[in-house]
Structure 1
Amino acid sequence: MVISILEMGTKTQLDRLIQSIAVVYYVTMTTLVIPLTVYCTAILLLGVLLLRRIFKFDILYYSRACQLMIGMTNDCWTSAANYMGLKLTEYGDDISKIANKRVLFLCNHLCIMDNFCLMTAFHNKAGLAPKYLWLIYNVYRATTVGLTWAIHGGFFVNFGPENRQKVLKDLRQFLLKKYWRHDYGWIVIFPEGGRHYLIEEAERKFAKKVGIEPFEHCAHPRIGAAHTVISTCGISNNDSSKTNITTHPPLDYVVDCTLGYPNREGIEFKNAIFAEWPNDNPNVAIHYKIYPIQSEWKDENKFKEWIYDRYAEKDKLLHNYYKTGKFDDSQPRVIKYNLICNILCQLFWFGAFYFHMSWAYPLTSWLVTSTIGCVKSKLVGF
């Protein structure tokens, strides 16, 4: 297990120096090394796609290369979460048994650290992380994380009443075009529409409007994206001719995931990178419940009823967790991160970065020099 900052005990000046170096390292990896490596790889893969038109080889070779990059990206961010001190404990069903299946993964949203929690939970489930597909809020598109996911094929969502139908239509077309073609597996969605502390008031207004009791620890989910995934990629009723599921395997399961932080205190990323957890408690719990896909969920009202029932159960799970420190009586499973895997991950990124810089830097320098020379000659002639 990699030693985290929290395991150092009382921080000395040397500890703080090591911490600062580690912060600079992971920030550099996230903002420079990984993005540049991914972008350069994407440039090379574009050439591969052009060659494909000539040699007609399977698109899956391209997809496998992308999956390798996203899997290693996931591992690097997981190692960063481990450095932050994150200690993740799983409850409920064992999702490793369905890691290689096609799954719709629904999770409550508490803070930005949720993404690191899920990536940590996914990293040791063989074959899961390289083939996952996230539905991501549009605000992240311009970040290094968003750009990396964009190259991998993430779908960016910009929900609002005025463009809801267009977004759902675009999502359906995206899935039909890419989900099977690029051999994606898990589709990850936060269906509540935002972090819980930001939408508590909206939850109360919604519940009052429709005449139902508001949830205390989560919010009634927006079902549009989840139902679009179910109706597009799930089991067909009688309209299979309209989708790819006549020739490609449909979704197998829905996983209802519940995240919980001690005392309802999520952590902001700016604090997490310095391992400054509320009450110095980095323990986070995660609960899974696996449900086989049902054909009746193609009916939006039936799916809405089903998912509302699941979130009512989620609210009770969270209430129990905040009260007792555990979700249920199932055997807890502590997620470990292997030191050897961490070292290999860092070596992979530095090796790939060095390889790409060995051709990208000279090429870029030549292009810049040539452009400047061309501009100067034009100016002299003018």
Structure 2
Amino acid sequence: MAPFMETFHRLAWIVLKALLRFTFMFVNNCVAIPSYCLYLIVLQPVRIMDSPTFWHIEGVMFRWLLAMVSSWGWFAGYTVTEWGDDVRPISEDEAMVIVNHQATGDVCTLMMCLQDKGTVVRNMMWLMDHVFKYTNFGLVSLIHGDFFIRQGKAHRDKQLFYLKSHLDKYYNSRDRKWIVLFPEGGFLRKRRETSQSFAKKNDLPYLTHVTLPRLGATQVILKTLGPQQENGTLGTDGSPQGPKDNKGRGLQWVVDVTIAYPNAKPMDIQTWIFGYRPPTVTHVHYRTYPIKDVPVETEALTGWLYKRFEEKEQLLDHFYKNGERLLAARMMPWLAVSCWWSLYACLQAPRPVALPLCRNFPTTNRTEGGAVPGDDPRPCVAVWCPVICLCLGLLVVLYSTAHLLLVCLTAVVRKERDGAKKNAGAIAADLRSVGQPQKPS
């Protein structure tokens, strides 16, 4: 009987925790996403007068929203261990990120990983399946300028044309730095059988933990965003490139990211929301390639991509067999992302919180001490939870408003300072030219 009751209590706690987490996240989305949209509506005059400042502010708020999603997993005990190359030094460079795709939780894992990588999160662009457009986060991604791609042969050519137009229109104008895509074109469980059948017919690598990548989107991104050289590769010759036609330096890196879940059991978004899975450590491996080492021609790029996913297969196979590490020389400890998470910890504690006790206090027969004789104490959830949520909600609104004003003020001051520097340089140049002796004509 005792084991049965213990199991019942554990299941009851899991269900209760899942319901509480879902309720909070529903309210969280109902507050955060409309706030993001309304702030941007209010700031539309800034977009007209100073577009870079507007998108800088939008990027800051976009990062807050991604930190919010990351916290859902972090406080359920879902953490990340990072291996391989340190990508923080290249966070200000332009890069294309290729990731293996196992489940919807891959996006949440990346949101968690990239929070401490400088300005990457607020200046990144995502390529994701068009289904995500109809989720709660779809409107945010649409405003941010992410691209929703439709899978299937019938849509392939048209979608690649739309992707190129999207990159030309939004990537440089909104100062994007990193672009994230999943070259496999779908989840592992859906594409594995098709990929293995295609590999057998064409004498290609037989992969189990990943699938053969598709070329289309990767090649469009490289050709559109990377400076092409005569030898068919991408990159620069080492000389600095100045801005031209509102474009940056172009892609400088390809970041190869491999996500590995313990026991080959990927997490989906439902796990992040309800938190019913025990605490889990997800392993993420990075490897960086200079853009000059990446071919752009179809045949060479296909071979290069297949080679990367063969390496992913080896990494994942080693990890699943040994369960220790992703064949890396060093580990990069993952850091907490922001002070906001202390606030989320109050609302999403992974264990029961001792709430203050209250009693039934009828309007009559109340004793002097406030307690009614014979009345059993009980957790006053119905009273305290709304009060706590209301207070914390007010704090969030005040903090975000103050932070947003600070961001706006900082952007204005930075712009004025840059203008003053330019004026000072022009005045100094004029003074030097006046002080120089005139050459006889």
Q: TM-score range by the shorter chain?
A: 0.7 to 0.9
Is residue 105–residue 254 contact of structure 1 (8 Å, CA) maintained in 2? Answer: yes
1:322 aligns with 320
Please say if 1:195 is aligned against 2:242.
no
Aligned residue in 1 for 2:28: 29
Partner of 1:350: 397
CA separation of 1:297 and 1:339: change in aligned 2, threshold 3 A: closer
Corresponding residue to 1:40 among 38, 53, 58: 38
Instruction: Tell which structure's C-alpha radius of gyration is larger.
Output: 2
Equivalent in 200, 210, 217 of residue 202 of structure 2: 210
Which one of 128, 135, 142 corresponds to residue 136 of structure 1?
128
1:120 CA drift (Å): 0.4
Equivalence for 1:334: 333
Q: How does 1:236-275 map to 2 (within 5 A)?
A: 236-237=228-229, 247-275=247-275
* Cα offset, 1:263, TM superposition: 1.0
Pick aligned residue for 1:287 from 275, 278, 285? 285
Quote how far apart the aligned CAs of 1:220 are.
0.7
Q: 1:296 to 1:267 in 2, by over 3 A?
A: closer
Q: Which string of whole-angstrom CA distances, capped at 9 and with x for unpartnered residues, describes residues 311-346 of structure 1?
A: 111100000010111111422233232673424788
Q: Does structure 2 conserve the Cα–Cα contact (< 8 Å) formed by 1:37 and 1:349?
A: no
Please, which moves more after superposition, 81-90 or 295-304? 295-304
The CA deviation string for residues 213-260 of structure 1, in whole angstroms up to 9 with x for no partner, is 3211101111111111111101222699xx978952111100011000
What is residue 137 of structure 2 aligned with on the other side? 145
Matches of 1:281 and 1:261, distance apart in 2: 12
Give the Cα–Cα distance (whole angstroms) in 1 for the partners of residues 335 and 25 of structure 2.
20
1:308-319 superposed matches below 5 A? 308-319=306-317
The answer (yes or no) to whether the contact 2:14–2:276 under 8 Å persists in 1 is: no
TM-score by length of 1: 0.80
Number of residue pairs the alignment of both structures matches: 335
CA RMSD of aligned residues (A): 2.8
The code of the aligned residue for 2:306 comes to Y
2: CA distance between counterparts of 1:250 and 1:354? 35
Structure 1: which 5+ residue stretches go unaligned? Answer: 1-9, 356-382
- Secondary structure at 1:43's aligned position in 2? helix
Q: Given that residues 188 and 210 in structure 2 are in contact (C-alpha distance below 8 angstroms), is that contact kept between their aligned partners in structure 1?
A: yes
SS at match of 2:341: helix
Letter paired with 1:263: N
Aligned to 2:102, what secondary structure does the other structure show? coil
Instruction: Tell me the SS of whatever aligns to 1:251.
Output: coil
* Contact 1:254-1:291 at 8 Å conserved across structures: yes
Q: 1:211 to 1:41 in 2, by over 3 A?
A: same
Q: Distance in 1 between matches of 2:247 and 2:12?
A: 62
- Could you say if the C-alpha distance between residues 89 and 11 of structure 1 is closer, same or farther in structure 2, counting changes exceeding 3 Å? same
CA contact (8 A) 1:234 1:295 kept: no
Q: Is the 8 A contact 1:105 1:255 kept in 2?
A: yes
Q: Retained in 2: the 8 A contact 1:256–1:290?
A: yes
Q: Which runs of 5+ in 2 are unaligned?
A: 1-8, 235-242, 345-391, 403-441
Secondary structure in structure 2 of the residue aligned to 1:283: strand
Alpha-carbon offset, residue 93 of structure 1: 0.4
- Cα distance in 2, alignment partners of residues 349 and 205 from structure 1: 52
Q: Matched residues, percent identical?
A: 26
- Matched to 2:27, the amino acid is T
Contact 1:37 1:352 in 2 (8 A): no
1:283-325 Cα offsets, whole Å, 9 max, x none, are 1100000000027622122111111111111100000010111
User: What is the letter of the counterpart of residue 259 of structure 1?
Assistant: I
Give how far 1:354 is off. 8.5
Q: Which amino acid aligns with 2:21?
A: A
TM-score by length of 2: 0.70
Change in CA separation of 1:245 and 1:209 when aligned onto 2, cut-off 3 Å: farther
In 1: Cα distance, 2:183 partner to 2:304 partner: 14
**1:259 partner SS:** strand
The one-letter amino acid of 2:217's match is A
- Closer, same or farther: CA 73–338 of 1 in aligned 2, 3 Å: closer
Is the contact made by 2:76 and 2:279 (CA closer than 8 Å) also made in structure 1? Answer: no
1:304 aligns with 2:306: no
Residue 78 of structure 2 is aligned to residue 86 of structure 1: yes
Distance 1:245 1:281, change over 3 A: farther
